[in-house]
Structure 1
Amino acid sequence: MKQILLAFTLLILVSCEGGYRSGVDEDQFSGYWYQNKAEINVFDLEQYRYGEMREGTAVMIFVTEDFSKRNQVKLDNPEEAGADARKVMKLNMTREFLTGVYPYNTMLSVFTPVYDDENAFKIVASVTEWCGQSFIQMNWKNGSYKAQLFSYFESEGDQELKLEGASEDEIFNTIRLNPNLVPEGDVRIIPSLIFQRFSHIPLKVERASISKRRLSGDHEELTLEYKTINRKLVVQYQNFFPFEILNWEEIQTKADGEIERTIATRRSKELLDYWNRNSLDDEELRRALGL
């Protein structure tokens, strides 16, 4: 009864400002994602950088939280926010690898509404290494993204952009909601912000195509292929709830025909309230995850 009431209340709230997202099974979704725990996925990473393959680790943390649609931040007191409160699926994704003597650390955060039929409310990406750091934030406002880019490179400097399109970085969250929500066919889409930082191409909407296919057993594969920047993203996932991400691959074809592949293969998964596990004794949990 409480779940029915929650769904009805959310339907009223989102109908005031936009469409209600269909395709999310509320009973399944709430039973798994509203346990006050995050799903931590650890991947073995083969990251192509500077013409060579680097071994590293990627972590994808999926968790739901209460979010302010107006201010686009996590709510401290959602019960006081009224119609401004939204449930989002948050992905925090990190990559760690070495390039010679110095390390690379990247982080991507994506906040996708669970019940609003809209693009991700907010997407943030950062890259840090010994040369410096770069940071991008995109906020979904009035049918487009307001993007702010900060970089230590003179040629890029600080930029403000307006982008009208969906984002590649949201695909992982949308798969977790329901893979059927990811459209197939030709799309206009913003490439991965981490890829944009690594490649230093202009940040803009590109033309691409999305396709899906059934693999053996209970696995499916989604392929996003760009028509303009010689990039392909391939994601394999389970075709049943909660639609776990099993591995992903980025393929870049350079102007001379050389192919660069970045591959992430899942090593471990755990449901964990990690924000409450911050003592020295809790470091054993990292070892259990293979970190």
Structure 2
Amino acid sequence: MQKFSLLLLLSLLFAACNTVQDQPDSAPLTSKTMAPGHFSGGLYEYWYEGVAELNTYDLQQIRYGEIHPGQATLIFVSEDFLTDKQVKNDNYTNPASTPIIKTNFLRRFTTGIYDYSVMTSVFTPTKTDEQPHTLKVTTGLQDWCGQTFTQLNHDGGGAWNVQLRSYFEREGDTNKQLPADFLEDEVFNRIRTGWENLPTGNFNVIPNTGYLLMTHQPYEAAKATVRLSDYAGDRFTGTSLKSYVVDFTDLGRKLEVVFEAASPYVIRGWTESYDSRGKQLTTVATLTHQVREPYWSQNSTADVGRRDSLGLPVYE
């Protein structure tokens, strides 16, 4: 009987210790108090199944005062990320690790005779009580004239550390700090991990880094009106669609992302409207294909045929 009582006491202590460990040090911000720059999503079982979600979009892209045909790819995957080095956790020897949702966003289009390629990667933690900010954004832009690259790293406090590397004389190599405002680049991640807590209202937003690189705009936040509503248009199709709009009135730029209200919150498409060579034009991306695959293990010539399921070109 004494032995049983001792075992019971130990089990209760063990349960109590686990309960304490599972609770955050302080209650996380609620959606009503969440600052726009703070993330409030989460990881669901959908993202833990050892595969990536691969999406292909028909792309009609603004450039040089015209609309150019192309293709966009959105790759969503969960992984572990080192918060101090802000790189993928490969070796699992560093305890400064947190789960994230990662977006790799590629846009490829032609402008007349030559090609454009823009790729943005966004790394957003989902233990929001510990890491309420997106940690890192990188964007590279390549065309036949040259290439530019930018990187934003959250400093752990109230700022983004920004690097810009450009072949244009007026930009060159620059480093600066910006307040840790909401990023247009993190909108996709916020939607995919729970759109109910998307921030709305009037606040500062740092515009999409691909847009900043292509239009040579200064790296700074701009005032925006941000709205969430039911989708009322007919350009995109799906079930119970929602619309999330980031409207930069002073920039003459507006982003609308249209997505399904039910989990896993598939993004059906988006539009970007802004001035190009004196014309107000609109980029349109429309979902055409979606698969879930462990693409990192499908890199042999025998796997080439899988590209058909994503509507991607095959080079003979």
Work out whether the TM-score is over 0.5. Answer: yes
Matched, 1:46 2:46: no
Q: Aligned to 2:46, what secondary structure does the other structure show?
A: helix
Whole-angstrom CA distance in 2 between matches of 1:206 and 1:280 = 46
Identical counterparts, % of pairs = 34
Which of 206, 209, 212 is matched with 2:228 structurally? 212
Whole-angstrom CA distance in 2 between matches of 1:243 and 1:6 = 33
Write the deviation string for residues 144-187 of structure 1: whole angstroms up to 9, x where unpaired.
10000000000111111111112100011000011122101011
Q: Aligned to 2:86, what secondary structure does the other structure show?
A: coil
Shift of 1:115: 1.5
Q: Aligned to 2:186, what secondary structure does the other structure show?
A: helix
Shift of 1:254: 5.5
Write the deviation string for residues 41-90 of structure 1: whole angstroms up to 9, x where unpaired.
00000011111111110000000100001110000133x332x1100110
Matched, 1:91 2:103: yes
Residues 122, 10 of structure 1: alpha-carbon distance in 2 compared, 3 angstrom cutoff: farther
Shift of 1:281: 1.2
Matched, 1:109 2:125: no
Q: Counterpart in 2 of 1:81? A: 94
Q: Which of the two has higher C-alpha Rg? A: 2
**1:3-152 equivalence runs, <5 A:** 12=24, 15=25, 19=28, 24=41, 29=44, 31-78=45-92, 80-82=93-95, 84-116=96-128, 118-141=132-155, 142-152=157-167
Residues 67, 201 of structure 1: alpha-carbon distance in 2 compared, 3 angstrom cutoff: same
Contact conserved, 1:151 with 1:158, CA < 8 A, in 2?
yes
Instruction: Give the aligned residue type for 1:282.
Output: D
Q: Counterpart in 1 of 2:265? A: 243
Which of 228, 232, 236 is matched with 2:254 structurally? 232
Shift of 1:255: 8.3
Shift of 1:209: 1.0
Gaps of 5+ in 2: 1-16, 32-39, 233-238
Residues 11, 105 of structure 1: alpha-carbon distance in 2 compared, 3 angstrom cutoff: farther
Which of 308, 311, 314 is matched with 1:287 structurally? 308
Q: Counterpart in 2 of 1:155? A: 170
Residues 97, 255 of structure 1: alpha-carbon distance in 2 compared, 3 angstrom cutoff: closer
Q: Aligned to 1:174, what secondary structure does the other structure show?
A: helix
Figure out how many residues of one structure are paired with residues of the other and give that number: 278
Write the deviation string for residues 238-258 of structure 1: whole angstroms up to 9, x where unpaired.
0011111100000004685x2
Residues 76, 8 of structure 1: alpha-carbon distance in 2 compared, 3 angstrom cutoff: farther
| RMSD value, Cα | 2.3
Instruction: Give the aligned residue type for 1:180.
Output: E
Which of 154, 159, 183 is matched with 1:167 structurally? 183
Contact conserved, 1:184 with 1:212, CA < 8 A, in 2?
yes
Residues 11, 21 of structure 1: alpha-carbon distance in 2 compared, 3 angstrom cutoff: farther
Contact conserved, 1:230 with 1:254, CA < 8 A, in 2?
no
Contact conserved, 1:107 with 1:127, CA < 8 A, in 2?
yes
Instruction: Give the aligned residue type for 1:107.
Output: M
Q: Aligned to 1:116, what secondary structure does the other structure show?
A: coil
Residues 24, 104 of structure 1: alpha-carbon distance in 2 compared, 3 angstrom cutoff: closer
Whole-angstrom CA distance in 2 between matches of 1:199 and 1:9 = 48
Gaps of 5+ in 1: none
Q: Aligned to 1:152, what secondary structure does the other structure show?
A: coil
Instruction: Give the aligned residue type for 1:269.
Output: Q
Instruction: Give the aligned residue type for 2:77.
Output: V
Whole-angstrom CA distance in 1 between matches of 2:267 and 2:89 = 27
TM-score by length of 1: 0.89
Q: Counterpart in 1 of 2:243? A: 221
Residues 230, 190 of structure 1: alpha-carbon distance in 2 compared, 3 angstrom cutoff: same
Shift of 1:119: 2.1
Write the deviation string for residues 219-266 of structure 1: whole angstroms up to 9, x where unpaired.
11111001221100000000011111100000004685x211100000
Q: Aligned to 1:61, what secondary structure does the other structure show?
A: strand
